[in-house]
Structure 1
Amino acid sequence: MTGAAMHAHHSLFSATATPWFDADATPIAATGKQRCYHVNIGELRVGARTDQLQALLGSCVGIALLWKKRGRCGLAHCLLPESPVPPTELGARYVSQAVPSLLRLMGACVADYADIDVVVAGGGNMLSACSARFQVGQQNIDAAQKHLRLHGLNVRFAEVGGKCGRTLTVDCATQEVRVSAIAQSAQAVHHA
């Protein structure tokens, strides 16, 4: 997509308030001056220098954007790969919606994309008995690769796939990301 096409694509989003971000949201934890916000399914959040953003992922994909030059971080918690219609508002229900939404919220233009690092996590196969048609985790991974590539964004780190959930944590103060696997319980492993 050319720069002009990308700019036109961004203008499709409405400026109305959407449920992706609540400026008055209460952090789930606070340590000293740092606040930790949980990013729920279908939501995105852009963090300030004192924020920590966190998502609990199964088959969903978490996409973190780190813009060190501007001191901004963003996190999207994507449920599904592709929107059936072009998105008209900001959000992260779909990977195809989340990538341009995060870039817009962070105030990045095409010339800035080379300065933004990307971390992708999640996309686990949480239902191993299902056919390939229902492997939403892999479909989310594929969509993330596709839409990040379309926007010319470079993935710095990815921990995707497998059969476990993950926690993705973005520390906006240090611009560091931590991905932690969530171990299956002994009972879940026995029945799998």
Structure 2
Amino acid sequence: MTLAAASIPTQTTVGMGQIAVGTKDDRLNAVLGSCVGVILFHPRLHAAALAHVVLPASNGRDGAPGKFADTAVAAMIAELARLGINRTGLAAKLTGGACMFGEGGPMQIGDANIAAAREALAAAGIPIVAQDVGGRVGRRISVTCSDGRVTIECVNQPPRTI
């Protein structure tokens, strides 16, 4: 007996500025420092999207939509719509946004990324149901697309799930 290629779960690494979508048992992975992982998921329809957001706002700059919090959410909604997933029933999770470059200064990029992601999700009417943001250490995350579960690993800490 052979398995159809469509039934084999995929592992996708989502790089800086990228967006990826998956269904069922697919996993979306990223390594985050001051970047923010914005996760949209639909638990009933078993689909999820992950954006690896680098900066809070595009301010008219060119770049992949996943690079900026102000463009990533709309792009994720569009990618999920291509799979037949309507925004109704979507929920969000946020991870990352660590303070990786020391204290002080007029702007901490991690904090700015978190605030911009929250604002973009609120504007889209998508509730944030869980988050693991801020702090001083980077995170390795893995999103299970079937249920939106996010496993988070940090140095010298046990893995946790949101």
TM-score by length of 2: 0.82
> Which of 122, 125, 129 is equivalent to 2:96?
122
Q: 1:113 corresponds to which residue?
A: 87
The AA in structure 1 aligned to 2:22 is: G
Whichever of the two has the greater Rg, that structure is: 1
Q: 1:53 aligns with which of 28, 36, 41?
A: 28
- Provide the C-alpha distance between the structure 1 equivalents of 2:131 and 2:8, rounded to a whole number of angstroms: 29
Aligned with residue 94 of structure 1, among 56, 68, 71: 68
The DSSP-based 3-state class of the residue aligned with 2:40 is strand
Q: Report how many aligned residue pairs link the two structures.
A: 149
Residue of structure 2 in register with 1:25 after alignment = none
Partner of 2:76, secondary structure, is helix
Distance 2:8 2:141 in 1: 21
> Could you tell me how far 1:161 is from its partner in structure 2?
0.6
Aligned alpha-carbon RMSD (Å) = 2.4
The answer for unaligned runs of 5 or more in structure 1 is: 1-31, 185-192
Cα distance between partner residues in 1 of 2:139 and 2:76: 21
Q: Deviations over 1:138-171 (max 9, x none)?
A: 0000001110000111001011011010122111
> Against the structure 1 CA distance between its residues 99 and 129, is the aligned structure 2 distance closer, same or farther, given a 3 Å change threshold?
same
Higher relative contact order structure (alpha carbons within 8 Å, sequence separation ≥ 6): 2
1:180 to 149, 153, 156: 153
Aligned match of 1:42:
17
For 1:91 and 1:51, the matched residues in 2 are separated by 22
CA displacement, residues 59-111 of structure 1 (integer Å, 9 cap, x when unaligned): 00000111123221100000000011187x86211011110000010008xxx
| Aligned position for 2:126 | 153
1:102 and 1:130, CA in 2 relative to 1: closer, same or farther beyond 3 A?
same
Is the partner of 1:50 in helix, strand or coil?
A: coil
Which residue of structure 2 lines up, in the alignment, with residue 104 of structure 1?
78
Tell me which residue corresponds to 1:187: none
Residue of structure 1 equivalent to 2:3: none
1:129 to partner: Cα distance: 4.2
| SS of residue matched to 1:125 | coil
Indicate the SS of the match to 2:67: coil
**Percent identity of equivalent pairs:** 28
Matched residues in 2 for 1:101 and 1:129: separation?
Answer: 32
> 5+ unaligned residues in a row in structure 2: which ranges?
1-6, 158-162
